[in-house]
Structure 1
Amino acid sequence: MAASPPRLQLGCQTYTWEMLGDAYQDGPDTLLEMIAAAGYAGIEITDRMIGHYRDCPQAFATALAQHGLSLVSYAVGSDSGFTEPALLQADLKAAEHAIAFAGRFAGALVSFGSATVMSPGARDDKFAAAASFYNAAGELGRKAGVGVALHPSSHHNTLLFDRADYDAVFARTDPALIGWVPDTGHILRGHKDMPDVLRSYQDRIRYLHLKDVDAKGDWAMLGKGVCDIQAVIDIARTAPNFNGWVVVEEESETAAGNPAAAVKINREQMRDFGI
């Protein structure tokens, strides 16, 4: 008898505020207040936005509980782009810290950012370096009992942009060690057929990032672009390793003007999909 699909829960990603750079002057407690006030059940916080909680997981757990939030995932990037072999050990040390942090929260994962080209060199070598990191980080997660996933992007110099790139990184990484956080906005910017991509690597899906783009590939508010939200949710829900978390991440100009208002609008939008 097939297992029932997991219950869907809605989380909010903090990159919406991180993209403001120095224009965002408040700390992680303000993020928790805004995300909870908007009606989300969970949060995916980045290593750049964790602030004074970086070495204090218990204090962060207390703060989350006070706002009625769960930690969906701890999202981690690197100035190495995870493609510089000389920095592999430093990246793995940071990965070990992130995994230990997430391990204090039941069900929380660690999401590692997109492999990115940071220096000249053969593309195959960049893929090899990225896969070496992702697999080693996945092994650290396995030993700690923490799920680990990669999050490809379409930003400048990403190594993981189109279908060929996805095929290349997934061919080089162990599905038992490293999962996938499909991001609808980034996929739509680099792929002609998003449903095909999602189905091809459905067994890799751990949780879902929802973003939207217009027909030109520019960021749009969720539901205002070309993303077929219901179709994406339907595919994710039948993925064997999907945990039920749908995380909204907003990068549109509307969000840049007022992030709190934008994520609240998105939260209301998702009620139409039963979340």
Structure 2
Amino acid sequence: MTKDLKVGCQTFTWEMLGNAFAGGPDDLLRAISQGGYSGIEITDTMIGHYAGKPAEFAAALKDNGLTLVSFAMGSKSGFTVKEEIGTDLEATQRWIDFAAEFPGAMVSIGSATVVSEGPRDDKFAIAAEFYNRAGELGKKSGVDVAVHPSSHHNTLLFDRADYDRIFALLDGDLVGWVPDTGHILRGHADILDTLRTYQDRIRYLHLKDVDAGGKWAMLGKGVCDTPAVIDIVAAAPKFNGWLVLEEESDTAAADPAAAVKINRQTMRGYGA
């Protein structure tokens, strides 16, 4: 296993609590730093008062000894509504501009999701148009853009056939991939084959675990062969070295900060 691996934490662990989380971005930075992480992937929902203030966010990251790995964004359009492509691209440009202030930081764009009636085929075409155009914006600004497929409700990108379909429509030079072990395990018969097949698109990795029934589990407590996954990802030609842990289990819902700290300890057992 490569020694150059860096371990970050995704803020969705807190975001999934909804109104039960009363804190803000500074609480997230503190918890993630104290959990032993060196990087953070924060979402458009959790950036809070730092939105549009990259210099202030950079100072807060420095105070906590953290690097911005990626900025993750979504849209109510699910990136599948043609009339919303322009609005979605405007939002993408704003977050690209934000990420551009952090050397090496990427923009991760959420999974295409079905939010309206209409043929499924059309939604793949709309999503691909958006992702490719977003990738063009990123290239012009010097910020790598990647897609992050999900297994959540109404996702368009659930199983292997969906991955094959969207990747056939995406320009691999413009749009990277953030594979998520938990989401892949929930929809694919063979996660390792999926990772190998699209290895050249991988930019960084989301690590989480599920049990045999697809229920979220703490890292190392489910069916994910984490060492095998890391070996494939670490050999990807465009992999930037970041392993981003994201926890959605019931354990995390009870105490996010404690759960992510445990996961960081688990990763040390894997040599990262």
Q: Does 1:120 align with 2:130?
A: no
Instruction: Kindly report structure 1 stretches of 4+ aligned residues shifted beyond 3 Å.
Output: none
TM-score when normalising by structure 1: 0.98
Encode CA deviations 1:64-107: one digit per residue, 9 max, x unaligned. 00000000000000000000000000000000001000000000
Q: Does 1:249 align with 2:246?
A: yes
Kindly report which structure 2 residues correspond to 1:2-151, keeping only aligned pairs within 5 A, or say none. Answer: 7-151=4-148
Distance 1:43 1:265 in 2: 16
The structural deviation recorded for 1:153 is: 0.3
Encode CA deviations 1:122-179: one digit per residue, 9 max, x unaligned. 1110000000110000000000000100000000000000000000100001000000
The structural deviation recorded for 1:37 is: 0.3
Task: Look up the match of 1:206.
Answer: 203
Q: Is the 8 A contact 1:83 1:116 kept in 2?
A: yes
SS of aligned partner of 2:40? strand
Q: Which amino acid aligns with 1:136?
A: R
Distance 1:50 1:40 in 2: 18
Distance 1:148 1:274 in 2: 28
The structural deviation recorded for 1:273 is: 1.4
Q: Which amino acid aligns with 1:81?
A: G
Aligned length: 272
Encode CA deviations 1:10-45: one digit per residue, 9 max, x unaligned. 000000000000111110000000000010000000
- Consecutive unaligned residues of structure 2, counting only runs of 5 or more, are none
The one of 170, 179, 195 aligned to 1:182:
179
Distance 1:274 1:43 in 2: 19
The structural deviation recorded for 1:6 is: 7.4
The structural deviation recorded for 1:5 is: 5.7
The structural deviation recorded for 1:274 is: 1.4
Encode CA deviations 1:209-236: one digit per residue, 9 max, x unaligned. 0010000000000000000000000000
The one of 213, 218, 230 aligned to 1:216:
213
TM-score when normalising by structure 2: 0.99
Q: Is the 8 A contact 1:6 1:243 kept in 2?
A: no
Question: What is the identity percentage for the equivalent residue pairs of Structure 1 and Structure 2?
Answer: 67
Q: Does 1:193 align with 2:190?
A: yes
Query: How big is the alpha-carbon RMSD for the aligned residues of Structure 1 and Structure 2?
Result: 0.9
